[in-house]
Amino acid sequence: MFCKSILKNRAFTSSANRFLVQGANRQFGAMDLINYDLFDHKFTNDMEFRSSFDKLKCFRVLDEEGNVINKDYEGSIDDQTLQKMFKTMVMMNEADVVFNQAQRQSRISFYMTQLGEEAAGVGSAAGIKDHDLIFPQYREAGAFLWRGFSIQQMAHQLTGNVHDFGKGRQMPVHYGSNKHNIVTVSSPLCTQVPQASGAGYQFRISGQDRIAVTYFGEGAASEGDFHSALNFAATLRAQTMFFCRNNMYAISTPIDDQYAGDGIAVRGIAYGMPTIRVDGNDIFAIYNACKKGREMIIKEKRPVLIEAISYRVGDHSTSDFSQRYRDEKEMLKWKELLSKFKSPIHRLENYLLKRGLVKPEDSKQYRLEALNQVRDALKNANDQKKPSIDDMFNDVYDTVMPHLEDQRKQLKEHLKKYGEKYNLDTFQGGNAFANS
Ligand SMILES: Cc1ncc(C[n+]2csc(CCOP(=O)(O)OP(=O)(O)O)c2C)c(N)n1
């Protein structure tokens, strides 16, 4: 009876409504109904194998010199936000230079820059809401800065000192912050993507005005997890935004070894979600795509995919030396392409200069202030104590596992005997751990 009445209603509902009706049924555990639109095929006499559709175009608002070429979006970002975006990108850029050098000086053990990709993190975080839950990869420090995660906090994490939220148990660059609604970066590629599908699904079924946003590179999108995550999110209508930073390289693997189709965006369409490709060096395009994407996610209760096209200007990380695989010939190949993209900072700066929102001397001043702030933060972080030795064993699991308890006991015994052989004063509480 219940089933019959729903089937009857189906005849009178639009396909979009039907989509929602099915979801509501699923949510309350009632039987599922097939959406017959998905089965409704047109027939043809032509036996045609297709391997491509028209290449997806790249949405942009600013050209490479910072001229507005899309007047519809000219006033889409208020002046104050634009200035904050510019300052945040400059700060990110200076931080990248200083922290990268700090690794060379052995002051930190590892670093990853976002050189040339500053707009992706900053513009996307500005386009969503601060309570949206971010599942980052590792090259989105701009999103952390946008949300107020400070340069000092970054420096604490990079040095793994007592003020690091992760208490030195993660590699540098693996930031995370409950306060800023950002889940901790995790190194195994793509693990964050299905997690974001799950969180977005939960936000939908609990009726929240909140989305999950996950970032990943085009390399990470080759993981099996990526496909499961997208299909899960699309069929269960998770409130999830999939943000791909396509920067042409996954360490030494260029895009032509990574995929043979039209990038990552077509995969979103294949899984049935609204998708857009944007110019990843145009902060206007990124901001507006994320803002609109978020509105669609909340209104239509379905995920969205955004592919931002950019270029990884720096090495993959401090463990990489990209001249080994990007020689002069290779760089020439990219030169023409790069001239079409230019640095996102350069583009926004040119726009702001034309509008009088920054003056040439301001820009220099911002850079100097940022540089000093980053240097001070690093110095301060380096001066702090390391977390207590005991913290090495805590918080990894909800309760300490027996094998870790065993290791803790062994370390205590060792440090009781040989504590003076180590420089334990650099740890909070020193060797008090041995007698605790
Ligand atoms: C499961 C897994 N495989 C391999 C690696 C090693 N690895 C770390 S980063 C990386 C490249 C990822 O490239 P991409 O997702 O395009 O991001 P990008 O570094 O270009 O921003 C690889 C292969 C890893 N961390 N995890």
What lies within 8 Å, CB to CB, of 66 at 6+ separation is: 346, 347, 348, 349, 350, 351, 352, 353, 354
Mutate to test the pocket of ligand 1, among 111, 112, 189, 307 (most ligand atoms within 8 A of CB): 189
Neighbours of 11 (CB within 10 A): 7
pLDDT at 31: 53
CB-CB contact of 303 with 213 (8 Å): no
Residue 325: DSSP 8-state:
T
Please tell me the distance from the alpha carbon of residue 159 to that of residue 180, in angstroms, as a whole number: 20
399-436 residue pLDDT tens: 999 999 999 999 999 999 999 999 999 999 999 999 88
* Ligand 1 within 6 A of CB of 174: no
Greatest Cα pair distance in the chain: 85
CA of 116 to the centre of ligand 1 (A): 18
Q: Which atom of ligand 1 is nearest to the CA of 247?
A: 20
Query: 244: buried, middle or exposed (CB in 10 Å: 19+, 13-18, 0-12)?
Result: buried
- What pLDDT does residue 27 have? 53
Distance 322 CA to ligand 1 centre (A): 14
Report the relative pairing of strands 253-254 and 249-250 from DSSP bridges.
antiparallel
Q: Is the CB of 187 under 6 A from ligand 1?
A: yes
Q: Indicate the top mutation candidate among 251, 311, 317 to test ligand 1's pocket, ranked by most ligand atoms within 8 A of CB.
A: 251
Residue 252 Cβ inside 6 Å of ligand 1? The answer reads no
> How far apart, in whole angstroms, are the C-alpha atoms of residue 287 and residue 347?
14
* Cβ–Cβ under 8 Å, residues 59 and 276: yes
Give residue 10 CA to ligand 1 midpoint distance, Å: 45
The Cα 429–Cα 40 span in angstroms is: 69
Tokens of 329: 């010939």
Q: Decide: 55 and 262 in contact? Cβ < 8 Å.
A: yes
Per-residue pLDDT of the chain (436 residues; tens, 9 = 90+): 334 433 333 333 344 444 454 554 455 444 566 777 777 889 999 999 988 889 999 999 999 999 999 999 999 999 999 999 999 999 999 999 999 999 999 999 999 999 999 999 999 999 999 999 999 999 999 999 999 999 999 999 999 999 999 999 999 999 999 999 999 999 999 999 999 999 999 999 999 999 999 999 999 999 999 999 999 999 999 999 999 999 999 999 999 999 999 999 999 999 999 999 999 999 999 999 999 999 999 999 999 999 999 999 999 999 999 989 988 887 787 777 778 888 999 999 999 999 999 999 999 999 999 999 999 999 999 999 999 999 999 988 889 999 999 999 999 999 999 999 999 999 999 999 998 8
What is the pLDDT, as a whole number, of residue 2?
A: 37
Residues 62, 286 contacting (CB under 8 angstroms): no
With a 6 Å cutoff on the Cβ, whether 247 touches ligand 1 is yes
Q: Rounded to 5 degrees, what angle do the CA atoms 340, 345, 351 make?
A: 80
Rounded CA-CA distance 309/178 in Å is: 29
Q: Is 218 in the pocket of ligand 1 (CB under 6 A)?
A: yes
The pLDDT value recorded for residue 26 is 53
- State which amino acid sits at residue 392: M
Helix (H, G, I), strand (E, B) or coil at 157: helix
Closest to 225 in 3D by CA, of 257, 198, 253: 198
In single-letter form, the type of residue at position 341 comes to: F
CA 214 from centroid of its chain's CA atoms: 6
Its CATH class, for the domain covering 71-383, is: alpha beta
Instruction: Say how many Å lie between the CA of residue 430 and the centre of ligand 1.
Output: 37
What is the H or E stretch that residue 265 is in?
Answer: helix 265-270
Judge whether 76 and 284 are in contact, CB under 8 Å.
yes
Assign residue 100 a region: left if phi > 0, alpha if psi is -120 to 50, beta otherwise? alpha
pLDDT of residue 32: 61
> What is the pLDDT, as a whole number, of residue 268?
98
Q: Where in the chain is the domain with CATH 3.40.50.970?
A: 71-383
pLDDT score of 6: 37
Closest ligand 1 atom to residue 258 Cα is 16
The Cα–Cα gap between 205 and 200 comes to 9
Ligand 1 close to Cβ of residue 217 (< 6 A) = yes
Atom number, ligand 1, closest to the C-alpha of residue 139: 21
Q: Which two tokens stand for residue 178?
A: 């409950």
Whose alpha carbon is nearest atom 13 of ligand 1? 250
pLDDT at 35: 76
Q: Which of 279, 280, 282 is CA-nearest to residue 350?
A: 282
Residue-wise DSSP of 329-340: HHHHHHHHHHHH
CA-to-CA dists, residue 219 to 215, 223, 251, angstroms: 12, 8, 9
Residue pLDDT, tens place only, 174-186:
999 999 999 999 9
Q: Which residue type, as a one-letter code, is found at position 93?
A: N
Q: Under a CB-based contact definition with an 8 Å cutoff, are residues 84 and 78 in contact?
A: no
- The number of the ligand 1 atom at minimal distance from the alpha carbon of 112 is 19
